[in-house]
């Protein structure tokens, strides 16, 4: 059984600061990693994906992957109140990453 | 507008009464999935489909059936619902390439009494 672990939070971060979200996974052979954001009462939406060790940046978001430690993280710079949401870490596998295992999510609150 | 639609959005039913939740996507995606989301347990994959007539079990398939007779549709069937199937259900689709993003429908909140 593939497992994905996240700290459920809540995580409170002042506006303008860096929010750091962490995730660990159990299957050392995992290849694809995703961060989804879910606002309360809404559907998840993809914000970042990463396949290779190291950092991947997209605007204010940086995903970091360390396969040796089986660890993936998401950094949000210059946090805004609109970043307040639950962030879901997911590990994908299969030819088209059609299988996804999600963590339970970390609830992030940005304090104005 | 590219989207995944689900119907109904809300459903209250009784134990044992068969029901179907429909899912349709207009993006010509090959991959489709069903998930359930429960507090403290997160999103869990029920079934997925890689193409027409190709389906496979996810992590929590017990008590559910699916079919994929057309590329755009992927209904979820509960033959004999039980209270432990009370949950929020999401359908998702993906083209299985690029970012491998799964596009989620708006969700169906099911209550089984």
| Smallest CA–CA distance from B31 into chain A, residue | A98
Quick one: what percent of chain A has pLDDT higher than 70?
100
Q: What digits encode the pLDDT tens for the residues B46-96? A: 999 999 999 999 999 999 999 999 999 999 999 999 999 999 999 999 988
Taking one residue from A and the other from B, the number of pairs with CB-CB distance under 8 angstroms is 61
Whole-number pLDDT of residue B64: 98
Residue B28, burial from CB neighbour count under 10 angstroms (0-12, 13-18, 19+):
exposed
Strands A106-111 and A85-93: antiparallel
B47: which chain A residues are within 8 Å (Cβ-Cβ)? none
Q: What digits encode the pLDDT tens for the residues A29-57? A: 888 999 999 999 999 999 999 999 999 99
What are the residues facing A46 on neighbouring strands?
A: A36
């Amino acid at each position: 059984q593939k497992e994905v672990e996240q700290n459920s939070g809540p995580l409170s971060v002042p506006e303008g600061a860096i929010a750091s979200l962490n995730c660990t996974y159990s299957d050392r052979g995992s290849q694809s990693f995703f961060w989804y954001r879910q606002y309360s009462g809404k559907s998840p939406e993809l914000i970042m994906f990463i396949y290779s060790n190291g950092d991947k940046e997209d605007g204010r978001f940086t995903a970091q992957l360390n396969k040796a430690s089986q660890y993936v993280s998401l950094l949000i710079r210059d946090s805004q109140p609109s970043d307040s949401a639950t962030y879901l870490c997911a590990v994908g596998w299969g030819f088209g990453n059609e299988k996804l295992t999600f963590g339970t999510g970390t609830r992030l609150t940005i304090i104005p | 507008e590219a989207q995944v639609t689900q119907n109904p959005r809300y459903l209250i039913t009784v134990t044992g009464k068969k029901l179907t939740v429909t899912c349709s996507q207009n993006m010509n995606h090959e991959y489709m999935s069903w998930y359930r989301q429960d507090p403290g347990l997160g999103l869990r994959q029920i079934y997925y489909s890689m193409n027409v007539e190709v389906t496979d079990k996810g992590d929590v398939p017990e008590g559910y059936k699916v079919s994929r007779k057309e590329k755009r549709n992927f209904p979820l069937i509960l033959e004999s619902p039980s209270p432990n199937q009370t949950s929020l259900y999401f359908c998702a689709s993906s083209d299985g390439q690029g970012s491998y993003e799964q596009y989620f429908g708006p969700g169906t909140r099911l209550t089984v009494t």
